[in-house]
Chain A
Amino acid sequence: MKIGKVLEGIEKLFFSDINDEKKQEKLKEKLLKKIEETKIEIKNSSTDEELRDLKAKLYILKKLLERV
């Protein structure tokens, strides 16, 4: 039990930053992909209401990207 905790501590100490960084990168990629998809959806939108909603969505996605 104690050994497990020590190993967990070592892992956190040496690898957590790398893991966190990787996760953040992955999240950024996901968001960028979503932004691109939304831009395409905006181009293809047929109604004003849909266009307004998609633009709002794009704005939020960009804001989320800033938070990452």
Chain B
Amino acid sequence: MLKKYYHYFFLLTLAVIVFYSSDFKVIIAGIAIFLVGMIFMEDGFKLFSGGVLERALHVSTDTVPKAVAIGIIATSIVQSSSLISIIIISFLSAELITLSGAIGVIFGSNIGSTTTAWIISSLGLEIDIATYAMPMIIFGAVFVFSDTKSYQGVGKILLGLGFVFLGIDYMKDGFEVLQGRFDLSKYALEGYLGVLVYISFGLIATVIMQSSAATMALIITALATNQIIFVNALELAIGANVGTTITAILGAISSNANGKRVALAHFIFNFTAAVVAVVFLYQLMDFTTFLASKIGIADHDYGMKLALFHTVFNTMGVLIISPFTKKFVKYLEMLFIEVNLYALKPLYLDNVVINVPDAAIESIKKETIHLYDSAIEAISHSMFLHRHAFIKNPDLVGAVKNSDMSIDADISKFYTDKVKTLYGEIIHYATLSQENMNEENQNRVYDLKLASREIVEAMKNMRDLQRNIFYYSKSKNSYIKEEYNNLRVYIAKTIDTIEKLKEHVDDLDVITSIELLKDGIKGLDSIKNSRIDTLIRENKIDSKMATSLINDSAFAYDVSQKLIQVATILWIKDKDIRTLGVQK
């Protein structure tokens, strides 16, 4: 509600300023053109990089220093820290990078984003960049209409750069005209009141424009036309640095835990750097002036000095905070926990007994059985079968072949929403429990971990199988339909046999059932292959069907083998008898 009124108020104020002040109109138009340029550049890099950027971020974030370096390089090239943030959050959600790697990239991205100030201050003010802007826009527009994606990307980058340059030129012109009318620098404030006022200005301007680069462009052009004094420009830059994180936090409110973690990490980092910069503002200003004289920046070139200050204080922030990355990660992981309402909760993993080996092993075993039961539910549904319809049914084959193919089950979703968390909890608990165990107990826990992994792997194999089971159940070719029904029968028999062997008291009865089952699926697999050969030779199935069937037979065989392996680990109590069946 408030947001809506704020939006109307903002539009009205903007309309009044644009209508009544032609000078401010030019500056605001400059900002608008600059922002359009940034959008074009961001889109252009997305098209042009063709996944290179993503790959670089993926493979180079295993240590914090590497992540910081890649953050600097990537942001310097694409000139958009928000694009980098978006990629990082999506990678984090897909577990392609760790949280510490993501935080490292964000740290680096802050330093990388300071290159914008360097570009504007070195190119934008000394030379007439509008003359370069026009050809860029013209050629950019030509490339944009190309058929090739990479040319379109180049076109958008050129258009973006052209508009950014044009925007800066407009801002510069606006401030120059304004300079003749009235002098903003008379509102210059020194001391801590200035700190408060100008940091707030920088922050608000960035939140409104949603771009710290635009704020920096505005500050540098205002500074170049002597509309603001240097110290106030530094304060505005500090405010812009914090403001950019407010935008990220607002965006992360509706995001998942990973989005929130990255946004808060960004805010804490920029806020801490800002606090340190404010406390040591005058020392940092002196240091920047000293450094500027050493690297050959002219004394009066305040734009370049501001860019240098921007880089210095962001680098300082990285140096201060990066040693605490591990603690930072722990804090963020505790603060935002991904809540999955559908996830299976562990029923037996009790932390009280984690140090008592026998009790811990029993807990892990029961939890693994819990995982197995859930996986069997998902596997059965993915074959369009209800467990009660085929388990212990004397006419299992009939039950499978006559089943209704309308069960709505997505095994991939089931794994992500329900099973993945439980699997993670089992592995975590089991690993912690192993610390206090002797070798024999450790081996037992290792076997149970192996069983959990096999359960999850079996589910993943079913994911590939499910699509074709459904597809060929609708086929008009009765041979392929029959073959896929056989695959279902084959897995259903495995599940059924395992359910029955749970009831045996004697371990030798369990292992004989398991060994018979192993023999059964081996025989079935070899028969399958020769049957496929016959079907191909007699032209009963086409080559596409044959390849699908060959692959899916292998998947089905693998699923059954994994389930058998799990049964051996879970339902044979005597270690020596179990060893006869477990294949390490």
Contact = CB atoms under 8 A, between A and B. Distances in A.
Interface of A: 8, 23-24, 26-27, 30-31, 34, 56-57, 60-61, 63-64, 67-68
B508 A68 contact: no
Contacts of B576: 23-24, 26-27
A20 B515 CA distance: 23
Interface in B539-584: 576-577, 580
Contact of B516 (A30, A34, A56): A56
14 contacts: A8-B438, A27-B576, A30-B508, A56-B516, A60-B512, A60-B519, A61-B508, A61-B512, A63-B515, A64-B508, A64-B511, A64-B515, A67-B580, A68-B580
Contact of A64 (B438, B506, B512, B519): B512
A60 B580 contact: no
Contacts of A30: 508
Q: By CB atoms of chain A within 10 A, which of B512, B516, B580 has the most? A: B512
Contacts, number: 27
A26 B580 CA distance: 14
A31 B516 contact: no
A34 B580 CA distance: 16
A21 to B, nearest CB: 12
A60 B522 CA distance: 14
Majority-rule SS of A interface residues: helix
Interface in B488-534: 506, 508, 511-512, 515-516, 519
Contacts of B580: 64, 67-68
Interface residues of B, number: 11
Nearest to B506: A34
The 4 closest A-B pairs by CB, nearest first: A60-B515, A60-B512, A34-B508, A57-B512
B355 to A, nearest CB: 15
Interface in B422-481: 438
A33 B10 CA distance: 90
Contacts of B511: 64
Interface string B281-312: 00000000000000000000000000000000
Nearest to A65: B580
Contacts of B515: 60, 63-64
A57 B515 CA distance: 9
Given A64-B508, A64-B511, 8 more contacts: A8-B438, A23-B576, A30-B508, A56-B516, A60-B515, A60-B516, A61-B512, A68-B580
B516 A27 contact: no
Contacts of B516: 56-57, 60
Contacts of A27: 576-577
B508 A31 contact: yes
Contacts of A26: 576
Contacts of B512: 57, 60-61, 64
Nearest to A31: B508
B26 to A, nearest CB: 78
Contacts of A64: 508, 511-512, 515, 580
A63 to B, nearest CB: 7
A53 to B, nearest CB: 8
Contacts of B508: 30-31, 34, 61, 64
A47 to B, nearest CB: 14
B99 to A, nearest CB: 35
A31 B506 CA distance: 11
A23 B512 CA distance: 19
A64 B518 CA distance: 13
B455 to A, nearest CB: 25
Nearest to B520: A56
A20 B584 CA distance: 19
Contacts of B519: 60
